[in-house]
Structure 1
Amino acid sequence: MKLFKDITIIGLTGQSGAGKSSVAGILKDLGFNIVDADKVSHRAASIEDFLEELKKSFPRCVDGGRLDRRAAAELIFGDKSAKEKYTSIIFPYITRLCFEELYRLSRTSPGIVVFDAPTLFESGLDSVCEAVISVVAPYCTLVERIMARDSVSRELAVARLESQKSEEFFRSSSDYLINNNLSYSELVKSTEEVALAVRERFRCLKE
């Protein structure tokens, strides 16, 4: 569904620990504009209306007028129904800010825009994308990367992965798949191949 004139939106998502941020960085170096939903979510989390709404359902997640990210993380990964409630509260704010950024780019930077969103499918925002790139890696590799990146236990790393969509889902739901199971140089090569395929498909050879 094309909502924004003059830009082609390509979704970028994948498993936690797969290296999606690295792929986004490579795509940026290749000349693609990036809308980072994680960065947008940090902005959304400071919106007063969001904090007031969140406080009504999860008072311990708001401390001193700010989001307590540790409490929110424990909530999200510890209780499925609470996670669904939390995401239902914050997603509208994230969506609004993302759309504002996409609209801005449609006016100032025509071409391909990579929409980097870890919850692309869960939020339904894959519907605004004309293609989706997913990044995956072997399960044991994901666990080790999450433990190292977030300084968490193996148990918590596994719990995070189990709360997310499986590799099989990403494989079956994506137009392009990047398997980040080797070296960084191999990741760059794989990303460059996907970038070329995207540009050729959408006939946009220069951003």
Structure 2
Amino acid sequence: MLRIGLTGGIAAGKSTASARFAELGAVVVDHDHLARRAVAPGSAGLVEIARAFGDRAVREGALDRAALAAIVFSDPVARAQLDAIVHPYVFAMARAADKAARADGASVVVHDIPLLVEAASDHDYDLVVAIAADESTRQNRLVTSRGMSLADARARIASQASDGERAALADAVLDGNGSADELRAQVDEFWNLTVPSAP
């Protein structure tokens, strides 16, 4: 089973690439989805967050994502504290997903991990693919497509690893500056060159 780590900065195009990998037949493990499960109401992760950040981060038994984001994206120490709580749960669930995929006979599993560099988990994968896009392109996408203020967009980008840091760990870097179709074509090319069973 070929295990691929897929990463990229916010609004670089990683979701487009991930969706194309799934269309090509890969099992995709979405670590953002796992992170949401890790802090769901009643979870041990949410209890730890409440202990660490108090009533600022939890409202009516659920994670207040906007409030927590306001805390951690302006404070690197708080961000590291949050990561230390959430990452172990996410990677435990990811290992379980790998085991299930192997049992089902999957030939390719793609782990969609926005924070692969930050979590220092690249060593777990046979290959790492990074999606890169200029900061100006990403800022524009966050403002126009996600309704963020320019200041919030810049803060989100600044809180993540740089494209250079991701590229240093990657076996392949795909260009996310263009259209979705252009990025999908790059995924197809990578797939055809890399996956033995690809046509």
1:50 aligns with one of 30, 38, 45? 45
**What SS class does the counterpart of residue 58 from structure 1 fall into?**
helix
Give, in whole Å, the separation in 1 of the partners of 2:163 and 2:43.
36
| 1:38 has 2:61 as partner | no
Alpha-carbon RMSD across the aligned residues, in angstroms, is 1.4
Cα distance, 1:183 vs structure 2: 2.1
Q: Which moved more, 1:64-73 or 1:9-18?
A: 64-73
Name the residue aligned to 2:101: 105
**What SS class does the counterpart of residue 118 from structure 2 fall into?**
coil
Give, in whole Å, the separation in 1 of the partners of 2:49 and 2:180.
39
Name the residue aligned to 2:3: 9
Matched to 1:191, the amino acid is V
Q: How does 1:35-184 map to 2 (within 5 A)?
A: 35-46=29-40, 47-59=42-54, 60-184=56-180
Q: Which runs of 5+ in 2 are unaligned?
A: none
Matched to 2:21, the amino acid is L
Give, in whole Å, the separation in 1 of the partners of 2:125 and 2:178.
28
Query: After superposition, what is the alpha-carbon deviation per residue over 1:84-106, rounded to whole angstroms, capped at 9, x for unaligned?
Result: 00110111111111111111111
Give, in whole Å, the separation in 1 of the partners of 2:65 and 2:169.
30
TM-score under structure 1 normalisation? 0.90
Name the residue aligned to 1:25: 19
TM-score under structure 2 normalisation? 0.93
**Residues 131, 174 of structure 2: 8 Å contact kept:** yes
Q: Which runs of 5+ in 1 are unaligned?
A: 1-6
Runs of 4+ off more than 4 Å: none
Give, in whole Å, the separation in 2 of the partners of 1:166 and 1:123.
14
Cα distance, 1:167 vs structure 2: 1.5
Cα distance, 1:171 vs structure 2: 2.1
